[in-house]
Amino acid sequence: MDLSEKDEFSAEKRNPDNYDSVNNPSGDWRVSGSNPIDSYPSENLISAGPASCSPSQMMDSFGQTLWYDPTSVQAMGYGGFSVQNNGGNASSSSFRGNIDRSLEMGWNLPNLLPPKGNGLFLPNASSFLPPSMAQFPADSGFIERAARFSLFSGGNFSDMVNQPLGNPESIGLFLQRGGTMQGQCQSNELNVCEPHNDVSTVVKDPTVRSSEQAKPNVPGSGNVSEDTQSSGGNGRKGRETSSNTKKRKRNGQNSEAAQSHRSQQSEEEPDNNGDKKLNSEQSPNSPGNKTNSGKQQGKQSSDPPKDGYIHVRARRGQATNSHSLAERVRREKISERMKFLQDLVPGCNKVTGKAVMLDEIINYVQSLQRQVEFLSMKLATVNPQMDFNLEGLLAKDALQLRAGSSSTTTPFPPNMAMAYPPLPHGFMQQTLSSIGRTISSPFSSMNGGFKRQVCISDLAVCKVNNPRLTL
């Protein structure tokens, strides 16, 4: 998995010429991905990688919360790479924009391109990757440094870039952390950048704000780039450290680490407003689940919800009261479910507005219940003796059900075999036996009786054989 990740990013780095602008559609990324093959024929790793690797693969490998917008990440990568080629300073401004994007994503990889050019990096990384992955435990200071590092603007990056290459172990650490850091000079870069904290964060803030505004508003309860509500730059660091250490007591899985990494980045002002997070007081020590539930459509499946709480961040320009946060989460849940209901209820697509739609839903439920009542009345009148002959009914019903489900290709018995919940033993046994008896008796009265016989017998047989069908 990490190899594939590396492939993708190496492919990114190999296309400096194609991407000067920051904004790249994802299609271009894929198209240009085939270019590296020509330039680096020796590199087998990305032979089919870029073309085949979709952003979704990247997403899966790194944990979904990291991937807010794959296109911008790719853009970032290319932009960062162009910075590299220009010596860093010339296009540091564009790089800063890229960095800010990366901040939102929590994605550091494109920023940490090695200064020595394309070719050197990949073979080293490929050799480093496999051994280094397993070796390095979670470095407690690492995430913190990596978090700080990701915040830094391009001005610092030039310093980082020029640092001599660090030990290859840093690669392994990075890889384990975010799975992406392939630059070799990262530890040095981080160390260099730590004294630059104050400067860089101050510089970062306005750009982060602007980039936040550019970002589309996620209809979710959490947003990574909620950092703009920071009051002070320096005070954060101490708190960030403490919060980082707390968060890192979790397992050091990649996804977890990446997630915590990103959440640490986002928490530049983590505990300034103490009640900004839901249940923050309940999980100071427990590694809370850092999924921002509204971040994408689905929750992270890889994260075990240890305490079941969902941590939310206040969005930009909204109240950070814990009550209002909870309220917002709840409202979003409700609206999500209303959308789901809208698909269910026929004729609700044109309706807009919660009130009208809810009325529609209520009317629909009422009408369904009335229909049930009406049909039961009809049944009572049709069959006044109430002698519901199960075998006969089943046979007839089988006819209708088969006609009804003829559009579907699934045969009759497997449907029933699959979907049966366990039932009390009692009467179905007698029903089965009665069905068995009727099977033996000829269904001569029915038209096309053989087919129906078969299906009913199959039904009975499958029920008898299937131990779960304790009907």
Partner 1 sequence: MASADKLINTDVPEKDVFALHFLQSLSNLRTQSPLNSPNKSIDRVRKIKKAAYVSMARAAGGTSRLWSRALLRRAAKDDNKSVRFSRRKRKVTWKISSKRKRSNQRAPVVEEAAERLRNLVPGGGGMETSKLMEETAHYIKCLSMQVKVMQCLVDGLSQK
The yes or no reply on residue 309 touching partner 1 (CB under 8 A) is no
Sign (positive or negative) of CA dihedral 36, 38, 43, 45? positive
The yes or no reply on residue 404 touching partner 1 (CB under 8 A) is yes
Among positions 362, 429, 437, 442, the unique one binding partner 1 when judged by CB under 8 A? 362
User: Judged by CB under 8 A, how many residues of this single chain contact partner 1?
Assistant: 67
Q: How far apart are alpha carbons 159 and 154 in whole angstroms?
A: 9
The yes or no reply on residue 213 touching partner 1 (CB under 8 A) is no
Q: How far apart are alpha carbons 203 and 155 in whole angstroms?
A: 10
Q: How far apart are alpha carbons 326 and 321 in whole angstroms?
A: 9
Are the beta carbons of 181 and 131 closer than 8 angstroms? no
Q: How far apart are alpha carbons 160 and 451 in whole angstroms?
A: 77
The yes or no reply on residue 409 touching partner 1 (CB under 8 A) is no
Crossing angle of the two packed helices 390-404 and 449-465, in degrees rounded to 10: 100
The yes or no reply on residue 120 touching partner 1 (CB under 8 A) is no
Which one of 68-76, 242-250, 252-260, 294-302 is the stretch in contact with partner 1 (CB under 8 A)? 294-302
- Tell me how far, at minimum, the Cβ of 69 lies from partner 1, in Å: 20
Which one of 127-135, 149-157, 418-426, 436-444 is the stretch in contact with partner 1 (CB under 8 A)? 418-426
| Residues in CB range of 268: below 8 A, 6 or more apart | 151, 201, 227, 230, 236, 240
Among positions 390, 439, 446, 464, the unique one binding partner 1 when judged by CB under 8 A? 390
Among positions 421, 444, 448, 465, the unique one binding partner 1 when judged by CB under 8 A? 421
Long-range own/partner contacts, residues 13-18 (CB < 8 A, 24 or more apart): 13/77, 13/81, 13/110, 13/113, 13/118, 13/121, 14/39, 14/40, 14/46, 14/118, 15/78, 15/81, 16/78, 16/81, 16/82, 16/84, 16/85, 18/78
Site for partner 1 in 48-77 (CB under 8 A): none
The yes or no reply on residue 437 touching partner 1 (CB under 8 A) is no
Which one of 43-51, 148-156, 224-232, 295-303 is the stretch in contact with partner 1 (CB under 8 A)? 295-303
Among positions 199, 202, 361, 464, the unique one binding partner 1 when judged by CB under 8 A? 361
Identify which of residues 146 and 278 has a Cβ nearer to partner 1 in the complex.
278
The yes or no reply on residue 306 touching partner 1 (CB under 8 A) is no
The yes or no reply on residue 454 touching partner 1 (CB under 8 A) is no
Identify which of residues 119 and 411 has a Cβ nearer to partner 1 in the complex.
411
Among positions 167, 234, 376, 429, the unique one binding partner 1 when judged by CB under 8 A? 376
- Tell me how far, at minimum, the Cβ of 392 lies from partner 1, in Å: 9
Angle at alpha carbon of residue 140, lines to 136 and 142, rounded to 5°: 75
Identify which of residues 249 and 333 has a Cβ nearer to partner 1 in the complex.
333
The yes or no reply on residue 373 touching partner 1 (CB under 8 A) is yes
Q: How far apart are alpha carbons 334 and 325 in whole angstroms?
A: 14
Residue for token pair 């704000």: 209
Identify which of residues 349 and 389 has a Cβ nearer to partner 1 in the complex.
389
Q: How far apart are alpha carbons 248 and 256 in whole angstroms?
A: 9
Are the beta carbons of 222 and 313 closer than 8 angstroms? yes
Site for partner 1 in 333-352 (CB under 8 A): 333-334, 336-338, 340-341, 344-345
Cβ atoms within 10 Å of 444's Cβ, excluding its own: 8
- Token pair of 102 as six digits: 């990366």
| Residues found in the chain | 471
Identify which of residues 17 and 327 has a Cβ nearer to partner 1 in the complex.
327
Among positions 22, 59, 416, 461, the unique one binding partner 1 when judged by CB under 8 A? 416
Query: Which phi-psi region, left, alpha or beta, contains residue 386 (left: φ > 0; alpha: ψ -120 to 50)?
Result: left
Are the beta carbons of 115 and 185 closer than 8 angstroms? yes
Residue for token pair 């505004």: 213
Q: Which of the 8 DSSP states describes residue 196?
A: G
Among positions 99, 314, 394, 462, the unique one binding partner 1 when judged by CB under 8 A? 394
- Tell me how far, at minimum, the Cβ of 111 lies from partner 1, in Å: 33
Query: How far from the centroid of its chain's Cα atoms is residue 25's Cα?
Result: 21
The yes or no reply on residue 444 touching partner 1 (CB under 8 A) is no
Among positions 393, 437, 454, 468, the unique one binding partner 1 when judged by CB under 8 A? 393
188 in helix, strand or coil? helix
Which one of 39-47, 128-136, 168-176, 292-300 is the stretch in contact with partner 1 (CB under 8 A)? 292-300
Which one of 39-47, 139-147, 228-236, 365-373 is the stretch in contact with partner 1 (CB under 8 A)? 365-373
- Tell me how far, at minimum, the Cβ of 368 lies from partner 1, in Å: 4
The yes or no reply on residue 319 touching partner 1 (CB under 8 A) is no
The yes or no reply on residue 371 touching partner 1 (CB under 8 A) is yes
Contact positions toward partner 1, by CB under 8 A?
Answer: 297-299, 308, 323, 327, 330-331, 333-334, 336-338, 340-341, 344-345, 354-355, 358-359, 361-362, 364-366, 368-369, 371-373, 375-384, 386-390, 393-394, 396-397, 399-401, 404-405, 412, 415-416, 419-423, 427-428, 431, 471
